[in-house]
Structure 1
Amino acid sequence: MVWSNGSASGCCGSPGYVSDTGAARDSQLSLSPTGHSVVAACLGLISTFGFVNNLLALVLFGRHKALRSPINLLLINISLSDMLVCALATPFSLAASTRGRWLAGRTACVWYGFANSLFGIVSLISLAVLSYERYCTMTCPAEPDVTNYRKVALGVVLSWVYSLIWTLPPFFGWSRYGPEGPGTTCSVDWTAKTANNISYIICLFIFCLILPFLVIVYSYGKLLHAIRQVSGLKTSTGRKREHRVLLMVITMVVCYLLCWLPYGIMALLATFGAPGLVTAEASIVPSLLAKTSTVINPVIYVFMNKQFNRCLRSLLKCDATQQGSILKSWSKANKPMRRTDNNLTFMAASVDHRSAAPSTSKSNKEPPSTDSAKPPALSLVAHYNGSF
């Protein structure tokens, strides 16, 4: 599920660490040596690309001062949590997959489950906060102060505190962390049928998967509605921007569901289904899909961001002079202007000069035509350059 970046159910098969019903379930939840090798190869790719992608995002943020806007701080928080998963958690499951069993002992298993849960929820709550912040930025009644980090910093702190609220209870008796799947990862105990454990899993599903998803859908839905209001001017620029934002929103929502929904479903099946319903293969595939979020998130939210993309290209060219000139010219070309409509303030990046530029012909002496009363053609962008 969303809180563990692991697989979906089961027990650990490592010597010296078998849960209460582990021996009875080892035969049901086991992979062949070939299966473990395939999982290890997948984990190796995910860990490598996830770590490199997120580290590169952090390097760009630290190297380019122009990227240090408040909203980009949320992107960095997502990259940081995803990179920590790749660096501190995935190597343990990778090593276990190469041997077909958990290698690090009981205490490490518990902390592995906790760390995966903590970083996974931080990433998802940050995605929800990011979507809501983008919506507020686009529709706020006044131009925001791009030097004010207080609101976004509060969102970052909230993501970590919220995650701790839901990942610490297993240490105090509300459910527990333990082995899962084919015996190579650890997470929340999905298989215990006690009221204590079931209530915890239901709360996790609602507050750590469904709630962030609803926030994302609501925020981007309202954002698209606002964009369509401005695109009602029927300019080609407005239509292109609307289609581009729509594609980005669909990509974000689909990737969110693709990464996390299968894992959530498998966790619920393991919790409420009959024993043995979730096989080893059925549990490990959602696990790998959940872990791919560490690779997909920086691609969608960072490298498809105009600011980061330009800085990345200049970094790869290793031309410091070009880096400064590109950022400067890009910022000037996208200097925002305000347009207020129905108590909503939108930021515009372009104006139809045919209607906005003053006329120097004889028509200055004539009464203005009806066309001059039409609003200039505007294209919608985020208050913070490069939000999409």
Structure 2
Amino acid sequence: MDAFRAPENESLLFSSSGPARWNPFHHPLDSIQPWHFRLLAAVMVVVTCLSLVENLAVILVTFKFKQLRQPINYVIVNLSVADFLVSLTGGTISFLTNLKGYFYMGYWACVLEGFAVTFFGIVALWSLALLAFERYIVICRPLGNMRLRGKHAALGIAFVWTFSFIWTIPPTMGWSSYTTSKIGTTCEPNWYSGAYTDRTYIIAFFTTCFIVPLFVILVSYGKLLRKVRRNTQGRLGTTRKPERQVTRMVVVMIIAFLICWMPYAAFSILVTAYPYIELDPCLAAVPAFFSKTATVYNPIIYVFMNKQVLYALKVSLTSISVM
């Protein structure tokens, strides 16, 4: 069997309007009104444009100003790169397919979108886990005065990309697959299959790419909270004010990311556990599209909770307006 061939029973979903087999690569789902697709296309073009502009601004500003070239900012830039690529691939494809109302680009574009959104999304989550671990090292100092340096940031970033690639490439090679969602205009890992190989991949994927980084985040900030409680003034001990501000910023970024992705994670767990559950396609699409808005919030949080970055951005905008 060719691992790259479209799965016969997995990419073709049943229409909620009847027993006839519906091919999402050939025409829209009959039960959904055309204006629903146009609304999703409008949402995606706004989210995609905002994300591309904001994340590109963070990347350029950070590399333009020498004072911003700090190890922790490299990790944040890595997060912006991941968010930028999510929007460039998944956001653009999703906008175009919703204009048509079905995945007219074909199976290979579906695989590309499913892989790209999953891959870059996991890179973003592991980047946040890396930031949380860095805050734990800096604030709690379990290794004395050791802190994240340039070589540590580079090693962490290399691990994030390599690990994420290892766990998101298997569906393109035969272990599970990337397939269309119930609405037919976006692609994702095959949550809906009850096949043994698909379920084993989903379980392994969730464990390594969601539960483990979430565990790192929770443990890191759990230890941080304990340090806060030990301090009689209710602050981060003798930690300098800039470090406390960075810690708060990272906490807010993690909370915003989890708010966006938790509904989709919960939905994915539900359909994996009950693959034949009947869900309204529009309702099932909400968590997936909502998760894509996470790419918009991180740059805003990074800029407005970091005075150095905000000042650098203002200087850049002023220099552009003067030209």
CA contact (8 A) 1:26 1:182 kept: no
1:180-211 C-alpha deviation (Å, 9 max, x unpaired): 23111112111111111011111222221222
Displacement of 1:22 after TM fit?
5.6
| Counterpart AA for 2:137 | C
SS at match of 1:225: helix
Could you tell me which amino acid in structure 2 is paired with residue 20 of structure 1? N
How far off is 1:282 after superposition?
Answer: 2.1
> Contact (CA 8 Å) 1:58, 1:80: kept in 2 or not?
yes
Deviation at 1:23, TM superposition (A): 5.5
Q: Normalization by structure 2: what TM-score?
A: 0.83
State the Cα distance separating 1:24 from its structure 2 match: 5.4
| 1:20 alignment partner, one of 9, 34, 44 | 9
Is the counterpart of residue 188 in structure 1 residue 189 in structure 2?
Answer: yes
Which deviations, in whole Å up to 9, do the C-alpha atoms of 1:248-267 show, x marking residues without a partner?
Answer: 56634432331111101111
Contact 1:122 1:159 in 2 (8 A): yes
Q: What amino acid is the match of 1:214?
A: F
Measure, in 1, the Cα distance between the counterparts of 2:305 and 2:182: 34
CA-atom RMSD in angstroms? 2.9
Q: Measured at CA, do residues 203 and 22 of structure 1 come closer, stay the same or move farther in structure 2, by a change above 3 Å?
A: closer
**Structure 1: gaps spanning 5 or more residues:** 1-16, 320-388
Cα shift at 1:109: 1.3
Give a deviation string over 1:286-330, Cα, whole Å, max 9, x none: 0122101111122224442232122123323339xxxxxxxxxxx
Q: Specify the SS of the correspondent of 2:56.
A: helix
Q: Distance in 2 between matches of 1:234 and 1:127?
A: 25
Deviation at 1:21, TM superposition (A): 5.8
Q: TM-score, normalised by structure 1?
A: 0.70
Quote the residue 2:258 is aligned against. Answer: 257
**SS of aligned partner of 1:178:** strand
Letter in 1 for 2:67: A
Structure 2, unaligned runs of 5 or more? 1-5, 18-28
Aligned length: 300
1-side partners of 2:277 and 2:314: how far apart? 50
Identity %: 36
Equivalent-residue separation in structure 1 for 2:294 and 2:104 (angstroms):
25
Q: Distance in 1 between matches of 2:12 and 2:119?
A: 29
Q: Which amino acid aligns with 1:285?
A: V
Tell me the secondary structure at the aligned position of residue 318 of structure 1. helix
Q: Which has the higher contact order (CA 8 A, sep 6+)?
A: 1
CA distance in 1, matches of 2:70, 2:36: 45
**Residue 274 (structure 1) shift:** 5.3
Q: 1:120 — aligned with what?
A: 121
Partner of residue 381, structure 1: none
1:234 and 1:190 map into 2 onto residues whose CA distance is 44
Task: Decide which structure has the larger Cα Rg and report it.
Answer: 1
